[in-house]
């Protein structure tokens, strides 16, 4: 991660940008998040990461998989 710390977001892949946006949204600890096509542009590893994030959510932070995920 240290080597990516100084890179511009424009240089990241679409999937990495998608994951960065999800991570940034979670920083504010919102009670509810609405995702619009969170798996769009993700490689299989990224899809597993997002699904795992949804599966590990707690009642205090309710994240659910989209109804149609791909």
Per-residue model confidence as pLDDT tens digits over 2-30:
777 778 888 888 888 888 888 888 888 77
Residue range 44-69: mean pLDDT, rounded = 73
- Asked if pLDDT for residue 50 goes beyond 80, the answer is yes
Say if 60 falls within a structural domain.
no
64 lies in a domain? no
**Domains held by the chain: number:** 1
Answer whether residue 25 is part of any domain.
Answer: yes
Q: Could you tell me which of 52, 40, 48 has the C-alpha nearest to residue 15?
A: 40
Residue 27 lies in a domain: yes
37-48 average pLDDT score: 85
The pLDDT mean for the chain works out to 78
User: 51 lies in which domain range?
Assistant: 2-55
Indicate whether 69 pLDDT > 60.
no
- CA nearest neighbour of 63 among 35, 40, 39, 44: 35
pTM of the model: 0.64
Q: Look at residue 70 and tell me if it is in a domain.
A: no
């Amino acid at each position: 991660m240290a080597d990516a710390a100084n890179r511009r977001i424009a240089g990241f892949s679409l999937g990495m940008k998608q994951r960065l946006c999800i991570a940034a949204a979670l920083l504010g600890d919102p009670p509810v998040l609405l995702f619009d096509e969170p798996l769009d542009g993700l490689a299989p590893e990224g899809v597993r990461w997002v699904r795992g994030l949804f599966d590990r959510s707690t009642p205090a932070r309710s994240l659910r998989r989209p109804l149609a995920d791909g």
